[in-house]
Amino acid sequence: NAGVMQNPRHLVRRRGQEARLRCSPMKGHSHVYWYRQLPEEGLKFMVYLQKENIIDESGMPKERFSAEFPKEGPSILRIQQVVRGDSAAYFCASSPLREETQYFGPGTRLLVL
């Protein structure tokens, strides 16, 4: 059973460009979570999704950030008009049920020049 997959593993963008981060949950998992880790800090929750639904986006910045988890395909975290402060590691996690353990992907390291 493959683990949580994220791609790309590294992404470099110039200020003002768009960043698209993809997450494929583990097989059989229908809950996806996105977290952001700034340098030298712990992870901070961004958004929790189920298939075709955003359940909780309380940790998501109000502007430029959006997330989706379509019926088919991976979950996408989209950052429009990136700024240097968006440079961070973005982790995706999945779980089969709300109370179950979360399994984390390897992360996408975003660098904004």
Partner 1 sequence: GIQVEQSPPDLILQEGANSTLRCNFSDSVNNLQWFHQNPWGQLINLFYIPSGTKQNGRLSATTVATERYSLLYISSSQTTDSGVYFCAVGRSNTGNQFYFGTGTSLTVIP
11, 13, 48, 86: which one binds partner 1 (CB under 8 A): 48
Per CB under 8 A, 106 contacts partner 1:
yes
Measured on CA atoms in the order 86, 59, 54, 62, is the torsion positive or negative? negative
Q: Which of 63, 86, 72 is nearest to 13 (CA)?
A: 86
* 112 bridge partner residues: 13
Neighbouring C-beta atoms of residue 84, cutoff 10 Å: 9
2, 14, 71, 101: which one binds partner 1 (CB under 8 A): 101
Per CB under 8 A, 103 contacts partner 1:
yes
22 or 103: whose CB is closer to partner 1?
A: 103
Q: Report helix, strand or coil for 85.
A: helix
Within positions 68 to 97, which residues make up the interface with partner 1, using CB under 8 A?
89, 91, 93, 95
Residues within the interface to partner 1 (CB under 8 A):
31, 33, 35, 41-45, 48, 55-56, 58-59, 89, 91, 93, 95, 98-104, 106-107, 109
